[in-house]
A and B are shown apart, each in its own frame.
Chain A
Amino acid sequence: MTELLLILAGLASGSIGAVLGLGGGIILMPILVLLFGLPFTSAAGISLTALIGTSLSSSTGYLSRGWVDFELAAVLVLATTFGAMAGGISAGFLDPKILHILFAAALLYAAFNMMRKNSLPASDDPQMTKPTSKQYFLGMAGALAAGWVSSVLGVGGGVITVPIICLLLGRDINIARGTSSYMIGITGTTGALIYLFQGRIEIIPALYASCGTMVGAYIGAIVGARIKARVIKVLFAVVLIYTAISMVQKAFGE
């Protein structure tokens, strides 16, 4: 029964993550912590592994539509990976209470971001202009922060990288989704390698969750290109705010 629930949790997180260009950890983490009662660091290890599955499936789907900009991804991932490595080292030293509050803040930020996404570039035109030096600098700084969030909180960092690519680098939302999907896999790998070699990944739950996320993200990448994302984004923002409140309550032991 637990196995089935983990697969279903993975399916939900993978499919929604793929539609929005996220890793899906922002959905999987609350489920693992609140529903399964796993310690935060254990849940982060499982989530990091599962988001790699989301990234593989969704970036493959988006690549077939030409929505992955590898050159942009390589530069941004370098900054993101530095952040993730710092996060992987600092995760074990941070107070769980602080982690919960940070995670709640990340959720609220994501909810705000979802609501604002309607103002982001919506062009389907894949033609892109080269970002200026200033845009690259701002993008790199933002990607560094995204990497740290990814590793410390076990989330994909896509909630930050998508607006970075759209707002700071001026790319359209589809390129942002596709490129972010590819980026989160590499960023997640940095954190996941540390967790793996330190033996901090609970292998069996990670297996079932990853199984769910890969299949979910594959479906999500197909469906996501066809449905109106606006409705999903608004509903998802409500879910994020509710989860953020739950995490704050857990941090203060209520």
Chain B
Amino acid sequence: MSTKHPLQKLFSLMTWGVMAALILTSLAGQFFPEAKLQNIAYWVIAVAIFSPTVLLIANGIRFVRQKSWQSAAAVGGIVLILVASIIIGLS
């Protein structure tokens, strides 16, 4: 396993992006009315929740490129379950 993983940059980008959004929203929350903070925070939280899915899909694409079909199929199955979770949540 290489210590310089090709996905490392994407992981760092997502992590720092989400972390910065959470910190800035928390700080800005002191100056916003609660209703507005609630609205902004909802979207920040939604992005945070979807972040692992983005990383998972990126991994799935890598598995396909490497012809690692068992792992790619597993990722495909997980994505289907995540879609099912959204449908369950919305119903």
Contact = CB atoms under 8 A, between A and B. Distances in A.
Interface of A: 3, 7, 49, 52-53, 55-57, 59-60, 63-66, 68-71, 74-75, 77-78, 81-82, 85, 88-89, 126, 128, 185-186, 188-198, 201, 203-204, 206-208, 210-211, 214-215, 218
Contact of A211 (B2, B22, B50, B90): B22
Nearest to B1: A66
B84 to A, nearest CB: 7
B18 to A, nearest CB: 6
Interface in B74-91: 74-75, 77-78, 81-82, 84-86, 88-90
A44 to B, nearest CB: 14
Contacts of A195: 89
Contacts of B74: 74-75, 77-78
22 contacts: A53-B18, A53-B22, A56-B52, A57-B15, A57-B19, A60-B8, A65-B3, A70-B63, A75-B71, A85-B85, A88-B85, A191-B85, A192-B49, A193-B82, A196-B45, A197-B86, A206-B41, A207-B41, A210-B45, A211-B22, A214-B19, A215-B19
B11 A194 contact: no
Interface of B: 1-3, 5, 7-8, 11-12, 14-15, 18-19, 22-23, 25-26, 29, 34, 37-38, 41-42, 44-46, 48-53, 55-56, 59-60, 62-63, 68, 70-71, 74-75, 77-78, 81-82, 84-86, 88-90
Contact of B49 (A52, A64, A208): A52
Q: Which 5 A-B pairs have the closest CB atoms?
A: A197-B89, A185-B52, A74-B74, A66-B3, A193-B85
